[in-house]
Amino acid sequence: MQTVHAQLQETIQTLYRKAVDADNKLDQLQQAQQGKFAAIFSQDSGFRSHSKRFTPYVQEITEDWQQLKDMDEESARQALPALVAKLQLALETVTKFQQSLK
């Protein structure tokens, strides 16, 4: 499980850097009266957060990861797929957003 946590930490750090860059670009778009939407992810995406920026979702993923680290191994194994799904969705979405700006 130690290897899993190390990989999660590395992936979350990568996601955080991408999210900060994406949020800065979203701020620029909003100032230019572009990028009008209610939230990045829909209510049924699995996220508790509801935001027009990426960093609140990264914070939620980080909180979930911290909780996972405090669980016993069996509980952690059960909770891991949901965390990985959120992480994957966030990474895919922020990457697509960045590619759409090029």
* Average pLDDT of the residues of the chain: 93
How far, in Å, CA of 38 to CA of 11, rounded?
A: 26
How high is the pLDDT of residue 91?
97
For residue 101, pLDDT over 90 is answered with no
Instruction: Categorize the per-residue pLDDT at 24 as very low, low, confident or very high, splitting at 50, 70 and 90.
Output: very high
pTM: 0.92
How high is the pLDDT of residue 59?
98
Please name which of 60, 39, 61, 58 lies closest in space to residue 50, comparing C-alpha atoms.
39
pLDDT in tens, 38-74: 889 999 999 999 999 999 999 999 999 999 999 999 9
